[in-house]
Amino acid sequence: MSGVGARAIIAGRGVLPDLLLQKAPARVVAFDGIAVEAEGTGVIPARFERLGALFDDLAAAGVTEICFAGAMSRPALDPTALDDVTRALMPRLMQAMAQGDDALLRDIAALFEERGVAVIGAHDLRPDLVADVGCLAGEPLPEADVARARAVLDALGPLDVGQGAVAGRGQVLGIETLQGTDAMLDFVARTAPGSGGVLVKRPKPGQDLRFDMPAIGPDTLRAVAAAGLKGIEIAAGGVLLLDREAVLSACAESGVALWASP
């Protein structure tokens, strides 16, 4: 592991950890209960109840940068397994949890930074996974529907609701909530098929993109097509493409347009 010990990826579910490891070798923090494919890399096993042990292991490995990658849900903690450090941190973490996922993630990042470990974003390791302003595929999108969906996201952002909305024919057809983008698109497919509308996917106002950047993948493109939508608008530099080649290939196969806007 010569030359890669200074960086670690805290691996969640999905393809993002592997995409990062393809171009940015690193140690992998594998939390109990989350399957990680990390052949050929240094794996650091971890438990949410034993953050003190994780901090010690990162320090012993010389890790100075970490990247959160992939989906993670709030764990069910075993109070009997807490180490001393985690037990002392629980009041602070519980207070952050009460303020929503964004606050919790910011506080978790602060815990690492207080111990001299910088938190970087997936886009810092793979700038090619985000898009510049412009057309990535297809024809222009209906401006009124894009504006309608963006207005919904702007209004709901402070409530920490979601990162996606669908509008078609001037109507709001779906809003992403805890259930995620796929569930929203399935709802749209069943309740408003063939609208010719758009999915808008953007970060929430003030969202910390180091550990909670929105993402779309080829499955998103296929679900958009199945819902009868014309295309997707994403925030330039603010939405991950998982991965870019696969996403553009899915655009070509499905006929779904993809644009990145400021």
Quick: pLDDT tens for 194-248.
Answer: 999 999 999 988 888 998 799 999 999 999 999 999 999 999 999 999 989 999 9
Assess whether 158 and 184 both reside in one domain.
Answer: yes
What was the pLDDT predicted at 161?
A: 84
Q: Does the residue 2 lie in any domain?
A: no
Cβ atoms 119, 211 nearer than 8 A: yes
Nearest to residue 149, comparing CAs of 188, 111, 119? Answer: 188
CATH of the domain at 27: 3.40.50.20
Q: Does the residue 102 lie in any domain?
A: yes
Residue 2: band (very low, low, confident or very high) from pLDDT cuts 50, 70, 90: very low
Q: How far apart are CA 130 and CA 113, in angstroms?
A: 25
Question: Model confidence over 48-87: pLDDT tens digits?
Answer: 999 999 999 999 999 999 999 988 877 788 999 999 999 9
Cβ atoms 184, 175 nearer than 8 A: yes
Q: Which of 125, 146, 162 is the last residue of a domain?
A: 125
State the first-to-last Cα distance of the chain, in angstroms, to the nearest integer.
Answer: 39
The larger pLDDT score, comparing residue 5 to residue 76, is at 76
Residue 138's CB: how many other CB atoms inside 10 A? 17
Nearest to residue 75, comparing CAs of 133, 132, 33? Answer: 33
Write out the chain in H/E/C secondary structure.
Answer: CCCCCCEEEEECECCHHHHHHHHCCCEEEEECCCCCCCCCCCEEEECCCCHHHHHHHHHHCCCCEEEEECECCCCCCCHHHCCHHHHHHHHHHHHHHCCCHHHHHHHHHHHHHCCCCEEECHHHHCHHHCCCCEEEECCCCCHHHHHHHHHHHHHHHHHCCCCEEEEECCEEEEECCCCCHHHHHHHHHHHCCCCCCEEEECCCCCCCCCCCCCEECHHHHHHHHHCCCCEEEEECCCCEECCHHHHHHHHHHHCCEEEEEC
Cβ atoms 201, 214 nearer than 8 A: yes
Assess whether 63 and 118 both reside in one domain.
Answer: yes
Cβ atoms 197, 166 nearer than 8 A: yes
Place of tokens 């960086």: 7
Q: How far apart are CA 15 and CA 99, in angstroms?
A: 29
Assess whether 140 and 255 both reside in one domain.
Answer: yes
Q: Does the residue 145 lie in any domain?
A: yes
Count of structural domains within the chain: 2
Mean pLDDT of 2-7: 60
Assess whether 42 and 146 both reside in one domain.
Answer: no
Q: Does the residue 85 lie in any domain?
A: yes
Residue 40: band (very low, low, confident or very high) from pLDDT cuts 50, 70, 90: very low
CATH of the domain at 251: 3.40.140.80
Q: How many CA atoms lie within 13 A of 151 on its CB side?
A: 10
User: What's the Cα-to-Cα distance from 247 to each of 82, 83, 131, 153, 217, rounded to whole Å?
Assistant: 41, 43, 12, 23, 6
- Domain span at residue 113 reads 7-125
38 pLDDT above the threshold of 60: no
Assess whether 145 and 235 both reside in one domain.
Answer: yes
State the average pLDDT for the chain. 91
